[in-house]
Amino acid sequence: MQHSLYLQYLNNLNRHSSDTKTLWNGCGTLEKFQIGNKKYAVKISQVPENLSHVNIKQTAFSLQRKVNSYIKEQYFYSQFAEALPSACLTPKALELIESDGTFVTVLEDFEAFGFGNIDTATNAHVKSMLSWLASFHANWICENIVNTHFGVLGFGNYWHLATRPDEFSKMSNLPLKKAAYVIDETLSNTRYKTLIHGDAKLANFAFNELQVIGYDFQHTGLGNGLSDVMLLFTTVFDARQMESEASVLLDYYFCSLKQTLKAQNSSIDCDALETEWRNCWSFIWADFYRFLSGWRPAHPKINSYMKRQTQIALSNC
């Protein structure tokens, strides 16, 4: 199969290095290019054989996990992205290429449509991201589904216990380590699950004057929608802000989720869904704390709010 856009890009002798950004830990590049009057972004990903990280030694298992994340992202774009509702904007994937461990994803350049990243989110920005997540989650919510329901996506997020044995072995927080499998089982056995973004941090959203667009689906998979909400909060709030804002914004998220489900004429029992997911809130925080405590024990995201929620979860294990 000929991949015309990418080949035209490779053959363009006027490429500029200033349009190139390095991906996480040297695992590729994100490059911008233009053909005629149309602008594109191409994500070129490959796991280096000598990949190293300051926080944890890389193993064959962890390297394969990274490769799997590229497989998952292209699978999401090819099998699921077109089913997203109009309220859930994401860059359109134009070409998906995999060859000898290199993954090439050619996307529309959202900056050409007036979208841009921000460093600090206002309350309005946070609400727009929560509305985006609510729309994303509502599109996939099901009852009593298993991790094979979404094909190779499996479970979502990058800190899922089964995918982090190296970090688990390094944990020194013994009460949390002892409860880790109970916490994981509690989250895995919920009645209601959905497709989650899996890495819903501020950096993976962009804004124009009226809308928000979400991208980067390497960790998309089955899970609890509040996992995305939790991670988003860790990237826009400190502990004090979470204490004052989390409750109100959770209400906003569930209001958006219920409105979307109602508009879809969904048969989901919205009240039962909300009750179950709210009961998981402390377990979701504890689950993320479990990962951070093994990966980087001094991580700045480990704060008083996270610790308080973890204690609530431990008291219910």
Contact between 250 and 277 (Cβ < 8 Å): no
Model confidence at 18: pLDDT above 50: no
pLDDT at position 34 is 85
Contact between 213 and 91 (Cβ < 8 Å): yes
Task: Calculate mean pLDDT across residues 35-59.
Answer: 75
Mean pLDDT of the chain: 90
pLDDT at position 9 is 75
Residue 30 confidence class, pLDDT cut points 50, 70, 90:
confident
Q: What are phi and psi of 159, to 5 degrees?
A: -115, 15
Domains and CATH numbers, the chain: 4-315 (3.90.1200)
Task: Calculate mean pLDDT across residues 177-191.
Answer: 97
- The residues, ordered by sequence, that sit 6+ positions from 234 with a Cβ below 8 Å of its Cβ are 201, 288, 301, 306
pLDDT at position 300 is 94
Structure tokens at 98: 């995999």
pLDDT at position 145 is 85
Contact between 228 and 197 (Cβ < 8 Å): yes
pLDDT at position 229 is 98
pLDDT at position 187 is 97
As a 3-state breakdown, the chain gives helix, strand, coil percent values, each rounded to 5, of 50, 15, 35
Query: How far does the chain reach from its first CA to its final CA, in angstroms?
Result: 53
pLDDT at position 316 is 95
- What is the share, in percent, of the chain residues with pLDDT greater than 90? 73
pLDDT at position 73 is 95
Residue 49 confidence class, pLDDT cut points 50, 70, 90:
low
Q: What is the pTM of this model?
A: 0.93
In terms of Cβ atoms closer than 10 Å to its own Cβ (0-12, 13-18, 19+), residue 54 is exposed
Model confidence at 40: pLDDT above 50: yes
Task: Calculate mean pLDDT across residues 130-135.
Answer: 98
- What is the share, in percent, of the chain residues with pLDDT greater than 70? 92
Least confident interval from 35-49, 107-121, 230-244: 35-49
C-alpha radius of gyration, the chain, whole number: 20
Residue type, 256: S
pLDDT digits (tens, 9 = 90+) for 195-253: 999 999 999 999 999 999 999 999 999 999 999 999 999 999 999 999 999 999 999 99
